[in-house]
Amino acid sequence: MTPLLETSNLRKDFKSDHGEVFCALDGVDFKVFDKEFVCLLGPSGCGKSTWLRIVAGLEVATSGSVLYKGSPVKGPGRERGMVFQEYSLLPWRSVVENVALGPEVHGMRFEDRRELAMDYLARVGLEKFAEAKPHELSGGMRQRAAIARALANDPDVLLMDEPFGALDAHTRVLLQKELLQIWEKNRKTVVFVTHSVDEAIYLADRIVVMSAHPGRVVETIDVPFDRPRSRSCKGFGEMTERVFELLEGVQV
Ligand X SMILES: Nc1ncnc2c1ncn2[C@@H]1O[C@H](COP(=O)(O)OP(=O)(O)OP(=O)(O)O)[C@@H](O)[C@H]1O
Among 32, 46, 73, 190, contact with ligand X (rule: CB under 6 A): 46
Among 7, 49, 176, 189, contact with ligand X (rule: CB under 6 A): 49
Strand segments, DSSP code E, in the chain are: 5-15, 21-32, 37-41, 63-68, 71-72, 80-83, 157-161, 189-194, 206-211, 216-222
Q: What's the closest the beta carbon of residue 129 comes to ligand X, in angstroms?
A: 29
Q: Which stretch binds ligand X (CB under 6 A): 43-51, 131-139, 229-237, 244-252?
A: 43-51
Q: 81, 5, 82, 60: which is closest to 38 by C-alpha?
A: 5
Q: Which phi and psi angles does 227 have, rounded to 5°?
A: -110, 150
- Residue 238's Cβ-count burial label (10 Å; 0-12, 13-18, 19+) is exposed
Q: Which phi and psi angles does 61 have, rounded to 5°?
A: -70, 150
Q: What's the closest the beta carbon of residue 48 comes to ligand X, in angstroms?
A: 4
Total number of residues binding Mg ion (CB under 5 A)? Answer: 1
Answer with the entry of Mg ion, ligand X, none that 45 interacts with (C-beta below 5 to 8 A by kind).
ligand X
Q: What's the closest the beta carbon of residue 196 comes to ligand X, in angstroms?
A: 11
Among 14, 106, 230, 237, contact with ligand X (rule: CB under 6 A): 14
Answer yes or no whether residue 235 interacts with ligand X by CB under 6 A: no
Total number of residues binding ligand X (CB under 6 A)? Answer: 12
Among 6, 31, 32, 48, contact with ligand X (rule: CB under 6 A): 48
For residues 155 and 188, the answer to whether their CB atoms sit within 8 Å is yes
Q: How many CB atoms lie within 10 A of CB 250?
A: 16
Residue ranges that bind ligand X, judged by CB under 6 A: 14, 22, 24, 42, 44-50, 195
The binding site for Mg ion (CB under 5 A) comprises 49
